[in-house]
Amino acid sequence: MAVSTGAPGAPPAVHRGARAVISWALWDWGSSAFNTVILTFVFTVYLTESVAPDPESGSQALGVALTVAGVCIALVAPVTGQRSDAGGRRKMWLAVHTALVITCTAGLFFVQDDASYLVLGLVLLAIASVFAEFATVNYNAMLLQVSTPATIGRISGFGWGMGYFGGLIALVVVLIGFVQPDVGLFGVTADEGLNIRAVALFAAAWFAVFALPLFFFVPEAPSSGEPVRAALISSYVVLGKRLAWMWREERRTLGFLVASAIYRDGLAAIFTFGGVIAAGTFGFGPSEVVVFAISANLVAGLGAFLGGRADDRFGPKAVIVAALFGLVVVGCLLLVLPSGKAAFWVCGLTLAIFLGPTQSASRTFLARIATPGKEGEVFGLYATTGRAVSFLGPLAFSGFITLFGSQRAGMGGIVLILVVGLVTMIPVRSPDRPADPGEVAAGDAS
């Protein structure tokens, strides 16, 4: 049977009502509990500090587990997106992957603060990370089902903002209800790590509750028109032909995937090492780091909302380039300003303002240029390219520290990654804009 490698498929079914948009964005609000509470601030710290024999070995084991998860994502994400496009089952696979993330997150409740439970915790965390990324591929692809060329920017920004605010509120509830008090909600205490294990149940319930509206009020996408292949290997054959076709006919898409992979790794490095720099260079204590993280989430969410409106008015490339330039300038200021807390508060929150718009506009840029019916596949490639260069930020951060002998110099490595991403992004041609800014016609904008 002949394989279609580039012909546009059916356009996404668009549901323009506010209920569909809010339901779609609530999934981001819910998933933020996994990303913020489990992966970033609470449960991974519990694994490395309390479950592992010592923080060093725990951190090393966590790094290995997440690296394996990253490899799985890089290899499989484009194919999962492609198969959900072909079957017209994008929402169904989003539901399956979401349920698996929730199940694994809830399973973390059984990880007690004993080294014998470390492997269980790492396996559940790695599996949840893989399926969270697969779910995000389909979730991002659904952006075109709840937006139009004239509204895609603000709706994407609304989704990112909801994610930031959801993570902020979930983190506050966790800190006040479970982490800080001697006796937390439902009478939990720190015995056998029960308060942190209860946080896992809370995060799972949070995600489940806020994910549900999407499955009721956002329509399923139509099939791309390609047959669903039973053999997984045949999907990779199709993917290879699609990439060859994109090289001939959609060079802009490949250019954007490369550029965004580089600067997104710089953004990830800011998230990963921001707290480390705050504590080690600017003298923040543990509670001050958490307070800063909450404040940064709030500012980044507001930035995402404002950036979404700028996206619809000026286009996603203008927003990305302006935001990256702002990140580079503020990052350079952090390299030369005195090591006071006030300087980090001002520069750190300014960085946060630019983070949300960069992430939101990157999603809309790709959504605007994706071939109709192939959104899942191209967002799968978006995930893959991001994972393929995920070593750049950590390598630049640690490399600059080694070269210049100070932790502050590591920020210079992150700035360098952002500069390379910015320079690589500049030649990429902007998506076409709708002729009438007030137009609400459905379809692709490329």
Domain extents for the chain?
16-222, 231-433
CB-CB contact of 357 with 307 (8 Å): yes
Over 60: is that where the pLDDT of 87 sits? Answer: no
Q: Which residue has the higher pLDDT, 5 or 203?
A: 203
Query: What pLDDT sits at residue 432?
Result: 67
- Non-local (6+) Cβ contacts of 7 within 8 A are none
Q: What is the pLDDT of residues 191-216, one digit of tens each?
A: 888 998 999 999 999 999 999 999 99
> Among residues of the chain, what percentage have pLDDT more than 90?
33
pLDDT of residue 392: 78
Would you give the DSSP letter of residue 34? I
Confidence (pLDDT) at 381? 78
Query: What local confidence, expressed as pLDDT, does residue 234 receive?
Result: 58
Residue by residue, what is the 3-state secondary structure of 94-148?
HHHHHHHHHHHHHHHHHCCCCHHHHHHHHHHHHHHHHHHHHHHHHHHHHHHHCCC
pLDDT at 386 over 60: yes
- CA distances to 17, 24, 25, 123, 324 from 30, in Å: 21, 10, 9, 22, 28
pLDDT higher than 90, residue 420: yes
Using CA atoms, how far apart are residues 226 and 239, in angstroms rounded to an integer?
A: 12
Could you give the CA distance from residue 420 to residue 405 in angstroms, rounded to a whole number?
A: 23
Tokens for 12, please give them: 């996404």
- Asked if residues 90 and 82 have their Cβ atoms less than 8 Å apart, the reply is no
Instruction: Provide the pLDDT for residue 85.
Output: 53
Higher pLDDT, 139 or 386: 139
pLDDT at 174 over 60: yes
DSSP states along 130-193: HHHHHHHHHHHHGGGGS--TTTHHHHHHHHHHHHHHHHHHHHHHHIIIIISSSS-GGG--SGGG
User: Which value, to the nearest 10 degrees, does the dihedral of the CA atoms of residues 224, 226, 229, 234 take?
Assistant: -110
Domain at 231-433, CATH class? mainly alpha
Burial of 83 from C-beta contacts in 10 A (0-12 / 13-18 / 19+): buried
Residue 166 tokens read as 């959801």
- Tokens 């200021």 locate to 333
pLDDT at 446 over 60: no
Cβ neighbours of residue 234 closer than 8 Å, sequence gap 6 or more: none
Q: Kindly report, residue by residue over 125-141, the tens digit of the pLDDT.
A: 999 999 998 898 889 88
Which of 28-32, 383-387, 393-397 has the weakest average pLDDT?
Answer: 383-387
**Share of residues in the chain with pLDDT > 70 (%):** 83
Phi/psi at 277 (5° precision): -65, -40
- Distance of alpha carbon 119 from alpha carbon 280, whole angstroms: 30
Do 16-222 and 231-433 share a fold? yes
For residue 326, the model assigns a pLDDT of: 94
CATH of range 16-222; options 1.10.287.3510, 1.20.1250.20, 3.10.20.90, 1.20.930.40: 1.20.1250.20
What sign does the CA torsion over 101, 103, 109, 113 have? negative
Q: How many CA atoms lie within 13 A of 103 on its CB side?
A: 8
Q: Are 374 and 6 in contact (CB under 8 A)?
A: no
Query: Do 298 and 400 touch, CB atoms closer than 8 A?
Result: no
pLDDT of residue 2: 35
Convert the pLDDT of each residue in 216-264 to its tens digit. 998 876 654 454 544 556 556 666 666 676 777 678 888 898 899 899 9
Q: 425 pLDDT exceeds 50?
A: yes
pLDDT of residue 433: 53
Which one-letter amino acid corresponds to residue 170? Answer: A
Q: If pLDDT is split at 50, 70 and 90, which confidence band does 91 have? A: confident
- Out of 272-281, 283-292, 349-358, give the one with best mean pLDDT: 349-358
Model confidence at 319: pLDDT above 60: yes
Q: List helix spans (H) across 337-373.
A: 341-369
Residue 14: pLDDT over 70:
no
Contacts 24+ apart (CB under 8 A), 239-245: 239/78, 239/79, 239/82, 239/377, 241/3, 241/5, 242/5, 242/6, 242/82, 242/374, 242/377, 244/5, 245/5, 245/6
User: What pLDDT sits at residue 358?
Assistant: 94
pLDDT exceeds 70 at position 22: yes
Phi, psi values for residue 92, rounded to 5°: -60, -45
| pLDDT value of position 9 | 43
Give the model confidence (pLDDT) of 337-363 as tens digits.
877 788 889 988 999 899 989 999 999
For the chain, give the mean pLDDT. Answer: 81
Locus of tokens 């309390």: 50
Average pLDDT over residues 313-321: 93
Q: Using CA of residue 426, residue 430, residue 436, residue 439, what is the dihedral sign?
A: negative
Identify residue 146 by its one-letter amino acid code: V
